Amino acid sequence: MRLLYFAWVRERVGVGEEEVTPPASVTTVAELVAWRAAASERHAAAFAEPARLRAAVDQAFVPLDATFAGAREVAIFPPVTGG
């Protein structure tokens, strides 16, 4: 699955996307974020405050407690505003 990062999340992680294979025990976006936070110090810094993150699964906005089973991509980004 592709894991995409945008804005300051991308800057902190240091890459815009990763190809990942989460373990079977990781089923929600929040669990995915926690799993990736353990990948490196940069990931830990980006995901230190999960409440500040938003997500999309296959380009549809979802809450962090949403599952991503069968998803081709999950995007993680800070809150966005329109205008």
Ordered by start, the domain boundaries in the chain are: 2-77
Count how many residues are written for the chain.
83
Burial tier of 48 (Cβ tally within 10 Å: 0-12, 13-18, 19+): exposed
- Which pLDDT belongs to residue 80? 75
H/E run at residue 42: helix 41-46
CATH of domain 2-77: 3.10.20.30
| Predicted pLDDT of residue 82 | 60
Q: Give the residue-averaged pLDDT of 49-77.
A: 97
Instruction: State both tokens at 36.
Output: 């990736």
Percent of the chain beyond pLDDT 90? 94
What sign results for the dihedral spanned by CA atoms 74, 77, 79, 83?
negative
Q: In the predicted model, is pLDDT for residue 83 greater than 60?
A: no
Tell whether the model's pLDDT for residue 81 goes beyond 90: no
